């Protein structure tokens, strides 16, 4: 049964309820959702549901009708999302696992890992123990293969998955793998399922050769009931009368299982088809049908592979598959999971971020904050003002492009990032709104704003009379149009960055060349301010968002703003209905921004900024109501706003 807890349940009431259920023969698992917390109670214990509903702290009781309890949608309505290595599985992500059928040697698996990572895969597969139909076939390298697999994964930043075939192998494998794979032949090896489940590792469970969907889900229930929390279901084709393919891929099982269960569903197109020329189209079909990821065999020299050579992709085929998935994913409302960029000297991780600031064991340690632009850019000024805590050293990290800011935060190279979202005169920075959607593991944890004041900056020996050419970023040029028009003798040229234009003036050492940027940049580069306050409209402000990784951030205690993104059904009044939900719950709309969905012409995602009401219940109710009226609803962050200026 599902026991929905009162929002105001006390810790004592929760403990008493857990004891009440446990004493009656139930296993109890707590699941904390965005809008409610539940106890999942499963087991052979018999009890009248009304008796449970009368316990203190219980909001309601929902019986689970399916024979698979913990795996069912009745137990958990939202998709399960969980980390595997440095990426997450489930939700809107498409996760690609690649590698050989079997680890053949150290050099071999290192080469395979290089191929997978370079093409965009995020998890490395490789068998160390191979269950083969023939006792005379290659059976794998055993522990030696596991060591090589782990080394290759660590070198290229890939999590690793390998098949386990016996309960006795658990102690040998647990130190080398991130995910246990249970193959089709062992789907109903219940002793193996119990043992692996008790390890509480992520597990990939392949569908049996002739298993029904219910039997497959019941096998997953064994894993969940014995302690596993993170289970991936993998459809790899079933055995039928057809002989043109190795197996028959039951692609209809993907939407069926995703309706019945909250568990992520992967597809193995290599084993489903058995022929490499069929792997790419079948893999793409699986993504289109809703699969959360693929597990694909790729080998540097398939004709000489120790096993499954005919179904292993060549490296260039794997690269094409990844490019095709990148193109297809936006069409079906998904994003391809990416590895964090592995930067030289990058730290292995950063500590928890609270309100955009890390809460570390050494609070005086420097905080690296990534921004776009050269040193002295407006973004750097904004970050120095926002993080001006006095007690902590701030280390600005310059990035050439906005995407690199996201990558630096995702990789842990930077504890935080800062990006401009909106200018009061020029409008939204659309690229950054799109990037917020493409990086689902990054959250907005704060915002700040600064006034944009432009100056004309030249070399120390220049003057207004000596200037012949002016450079700056295009928005900076437009914001100073009146001043520039008053000097028709000047040639105006766009440059990639405002602060970078000042650096170029310094390097050129040309007294006829000037740049438009903020006055602080002149001091930073040792240049001369020729004229301050040249912007046409002095009411020129830019709003910046503070970024942090989702798993290393918590909402600010005083958060009063939230940013949401969603798409709407194609029907009259769909957006109006969303606005009505917000209005009825007194959520003040501060911004509404639409962006086209890549690969879906004339369809749009809507970005919404709302003021949070005093009651958390109002926002939770609004979010739940929006879920029923929208597609792909996502909370991008809650934070303390800074718009009251």
DSSP string covering 191-210, please? Answer: HHHHHHHHTT--EEEEPPTT
Distance of CA 315 to the CA centre of its chain: 26
Is 536 assigned a catalytic role?
Answer: no
- Dihedral sign for Cα 572, 621, 69, 125, please: positive
How far is the C-alpha of 534 from the C-alpha of 254, rounded, in Å? 60
**H-helix or E-strand containing 40?**
strand 37-43
Helix (H) or strand (E) holding 127: none
- Average of per-residue pLDDT across 242-257: 94
Q: Give the whole-angstrom CA distance, residue 205 versus residue 209.
A: 12
CB neighbour class for 404 (10 Å; exposed up to 12, middle 13-18, buried from 19): buried
> What pLDDT does residue 352 have?
29
Q: Tokens representing 131?
A: 């269950």
Give the residues across from 368 on adjacent strands. 395
Q: What is the mean pLDDT of the chain?
A: 88
- What does the pLDDT look like over 387-404, one tens digit per residue? 764 445 889 999 999 999
Give me the pLDDT at residue 553, please.
65
Helix (H) or strand (E) holding 506: helix 498-508
Is the pTM value of this prediction over 0.85?
A: no
Asked if residues 497 and 472 have their Cβ atoms less than 8 Å apart, the reply is no
Contact assessment for residue 159 and residue 85, using Cβ atoms and an 8 Å cutoff:
yes
Q: Residue 584 in 3-state DSSP? A: helix
Torsion from C-alpha of 307, 244, 317, 265, nearest 10 degrees: -80
Mean pLDDT of the 38-63 span: 81
> pLDDT-derived band of residue 340, with 50, 70 and 90 as boundaries?
low
Report the alpha-carbon distance of residue 261 to residue 68 in Å, rounded.
9
* CA–CA separation, 429 and 640 (whole Å): 21
Structure tokens at 503: 């650096």
Domains along the sequence of the chain with CATH: 2-62 (3.30.70.1140), 83-336 (3.20.20.70), 455-539 (3.40.190.10), 556-645 (3.30.70.260)
* Residue whose structure tokens are 């964090």: 340
* Interatomic CA distance for residues 639 and 642, integer angstroms: 9
Max CA distance (Å), the chain: 92
In which band, very low, low, confident or very high, does the pLDDT at 644 lie, cut at 50, 70 and 90?
very low
* Alpha carbons 177 and 150: distance in angstroms, whole number: 7
Mean pLDDT lowest for which of 62-71, 328-337, 500-509? 328-337
For residue 174, give Cα distances in angstroms to 82, 147, 167, 169. 18, 11, 11, 9
- Closest alpha carbon to 278 in 321, 341, 231, 338: 321
pLDDT mean over 30-43: 76
Closest CA to 286 of 231, 243, 334, 245: 334
Catalytic residue among 75, 180, 406, 544: 544
Per DSSP bridges, beta strands 37-43 and 2-5 are antiparallel
For residue 398, give the 3-state DSSP assignment.
Answer: strand
Going by pLDDT thresholds of 50, 70 and 90, the confidence category of residue 364 is low
Contact status, residue 158 vs residue 122, Cβ threshold 8 Å: yes
Q: Note the Cα 77 to chain centre separation in Å.
A: 20
Confidence of residue 107 (pLDDT cuts 50, 70, 90): very high
List, as one string, the DSSP characters of 61-78: EE---SS--TTBTTT--S
Q: Tell which residue, 228, 222, 243, has the closest CA to residue 179.
A: 228
- Asked whether residue 349 carries a pLDDT value surpassing 50, the answer given is no
So what's the pLDDT on residue 474?
A: 92
Separation CA 496–CA 6 (nearest Å): 54
Residues 6 or more apart whose Cβ sits within 8 Å of residue 354: 553, 554, 556
Rounded to an integer, the average pLDDT of 511-524 is 93
In eight-state DSSP terms, residue 601 is T
Predicted pLDDT at 343: 34
Judge contact between 342 and 153, C-beta under 8 A: no
Average pLDDT in the 478-500 region?
94
pLDDT of 162 higher than 60: yes
Tokens representing 15 are 């403990």
pLDDT at site 24: 83
Compute the distance between CA of residue 597 and CA of residue 595 in angstroms, rounded to an integer.
6
Q: Is 524 tagged catalytic? A: no
Residue 587: both structure tokens together: 């959520």
pLDDT the model gives residue 345: 33
448, 521, 542, 638: which is the annotated catalytic residue?
542
Mean pLDDT of 19-28: 85
pLDDT confidence tier of residue 642, bands split at 50, 70 and 90: low
Dist CA 59 CA 178 (whole Å): 38
pLDDT level of residue 354 (50, 70, 90 thresholds): very low
Catalogue the E-assigned strands of 412-485.
416-423, 427-428, 442-451, 455-458, 469-472
Task: Identify the pLDDT of residue 38.
Answer: 83
Q: Tell me the pLDDT band of 347, cut-offs 50, 70 and 90.
A: very low
Q: Is 10 helix (H, G, I), strand (E, B) or coil?
A: coil
| CA 432 to chain CA centroid, nearest Å | 16
SS3 454: coil
């Amino acid at each position: 049964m599902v026991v929905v807890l009162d929002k105001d349940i006390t810790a004592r009431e929760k403990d008493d309820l857990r004891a009440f259920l446990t004493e009656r023969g139930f296993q109890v698992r707590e699941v904390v959702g965005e809008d409610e917390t539940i106890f999942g109670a499963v087991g052979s214990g018999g009890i009248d549901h009304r008796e449970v509903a009368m316990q203190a702290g219980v909001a309601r009781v929902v019986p689970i009708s399916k024979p698979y309890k913990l795996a069912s949608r009745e137990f958990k309505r939202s998709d399960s999302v969980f980390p595997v290595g440095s990426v997450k599985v489930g939700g809107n992500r498409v996760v690609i696992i690649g590698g050989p059928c079997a680890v053949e040697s150290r050099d071999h698996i290192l080469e395979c890992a290089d191929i997978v990572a370079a093409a965009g895969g995020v998890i490395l597969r490789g068998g160390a123990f191979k269950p083969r139909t023939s006792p005379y076939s290659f059976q794998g390298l055993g522990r030696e293969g596991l060591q090589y697999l782990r080394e290759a994964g660590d070198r290229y930043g890939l999590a690793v998955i390998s098949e386990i075939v016996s309960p006795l192998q658990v102690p040998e494998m647990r130190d080398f793998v991130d995910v246990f794979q249970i193959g089709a032949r062992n789907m109903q090896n219940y002793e193996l399922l119990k043992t692996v489940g008790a390890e509480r590792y992520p597990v990939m469970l392949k569908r049996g050769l002739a298993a029904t969907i219910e039997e497959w889900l019941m096998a997953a229930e064994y894993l969940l009931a014995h302690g596993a929390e993170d289970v991936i279901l993998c459809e790899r084709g079933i055995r039928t009368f057809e002989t043109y393919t190795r197996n028959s891929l039951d692609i209809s099982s993907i939407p069926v299982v995703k309706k019945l269960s909250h568990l992520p569903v992967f597809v193995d197109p290599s084993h489903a088809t058995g022929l490499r020329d069929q792997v790419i189209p079948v893999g793409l079909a699986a993504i289109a049908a809703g699969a959360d990821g693929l597990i694909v065999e790729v080998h540097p020299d398939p004709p000489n592979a120790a096993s499954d050579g005919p179904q292993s992709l060549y490296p260039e085929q794997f690269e094409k598959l990844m490019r095709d998935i990148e193109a297809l994913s936006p069409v079906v409302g998904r994003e391809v999971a990416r590895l964090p960029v592995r930067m030289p000297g990058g730290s292995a991780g950063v500590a928890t971020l609270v309100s955009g600031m890390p809460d570390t064991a050494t609070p005086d340690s420097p905080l690296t904050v990534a921004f776009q632009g050269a040193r002295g850019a407006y973004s750097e000024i904004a970050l120095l003002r926002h993080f001006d805590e006095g007690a902590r050293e701030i280390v600005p990290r310059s990035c050439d492009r906005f995407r690199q800011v996201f990558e630096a935060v995702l990789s842990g190279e930077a504890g935080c990032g800062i990006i401009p979202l909106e200018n009061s005169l020029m409008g939204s920075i659309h690229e950054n709104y799109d990037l917020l959607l493409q990086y689902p593991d990054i959250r907005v944890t704060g915002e700040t704003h600064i006034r944009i004041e432009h100056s004309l900056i030249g070399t120390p020996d220049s003057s207004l009379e000596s200037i012949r050419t002016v450079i700056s970023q295009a928005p900076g040029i437009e914001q100073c149009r009146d001043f520039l028009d008053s000097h028709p003798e000047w040639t105006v040229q766009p440059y990639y960055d405002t602060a970078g234009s000042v650096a170029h003036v310094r390097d050129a050492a040309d007294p006829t060349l000037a740049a438009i940027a903020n006055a602080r940049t002149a001091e930073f580069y040792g240049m001369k301010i020729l004229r301050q306050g040249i912007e046409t409209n002095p009411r020129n402000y830019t709003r910046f968002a503070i970024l942090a990784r989702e798993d290393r951030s918590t909402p600010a205690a005083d958060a009063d703003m939230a940013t949401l993104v969603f798409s709407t059904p194609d029907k009259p009044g769909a957006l109006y209905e969303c606005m009505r939900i917000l209005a009825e719950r007194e959520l003040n709309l501060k911004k509404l921004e639409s962006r086209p969905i890549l690969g879906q012409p004339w369809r749009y995602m809507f970005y919404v900024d709302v003021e949070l009401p005093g009651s958390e219940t109002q926002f939770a109710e609004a979010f739940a109501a929006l879920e029923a009226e929208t597609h792909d609803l996502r909370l991008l962050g809650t934070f303390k706003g800074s718009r009251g200026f």
